[in-house]
Structures are given as C-alpha cells and as structure tokens.
Amino acid sequence: MRYGYAVLRAPASGAKAKRLPYPDLLAFKNGRILIFEVKRRSRRQAVYLSEDQYSTLMFWKSKGAEVYVAIRYDSEGPDFLLVPIGCVEAVDGSPPRYRLSVDRVLECGKRVQEVA
C-alpha cells in the first residue's frame, strides 16, 4: 500500500497453480498492471527462470501488463531490483531456460521507486 497499489500474492503450489499462468505477485493501480516473478539470492549471481516461469510472464505481457523479475541480493541489503522481462536472455539447453546475468540485472534493474 506504500505506493497505492492493490497487491495480490498468487499461490505458489497446488493443482491450479500448475495449470494456470500465475506469477508470484500482481499489482494494480488506476488501470496499470504490474507482474512480478520474485527471486532472492544470498549473493550476486545469475538468476534463472524455467520455461514455465518465462511463459507465464510472457502471457501477462501479451495481455498488456508490465512484467518484471524482482531480484534481491541479500548481500546488497533489503532492496529489490526490478528487471523488465525484455532483459532476460534465453539459454541453450533442454528444457529451455532463461537467465539474467549479474551484469544484466545491474544494467537493466530499476529501484521500486523508479517503477512505482
């Protein structure tokens, strides 16, 4: 509520969560929709998304939402960096995976205040 958004935390497990495209967080304000996949790491390192996580985020982007990967490095303090989905890179392999290198996080990441 700090920035006036209504925020929903989507279920992370269960039968419905496996069938429907649920992100970790949804935030709404004045017609604006923000979607977040939340990742936390103890130190600076790459962040990976599964094919399902990436597909879920792209589904929401196709519906007009602003989509971010919210990353918090414990060694950097309590703040999150919000990285637009467009900065995520595909990684070769099977099954497909997607990556945000530390360089991409620092280059593309925005503070919460910048996005709110």
Question: By the 8 A CB rule, do 34 and 115 touch?
Answer: yes
Q: Please identify which of the residues 13, 42, 62, 94 carries the catalytic annotation.
A: 13
13 is catalytic: yes
Distance of CA 6 to the CA centre of its chain: 17
Torsion of CA 13, 18, 21, 24, to 10 degrees: 20
Which residues are part of the catalytic machinery?
13
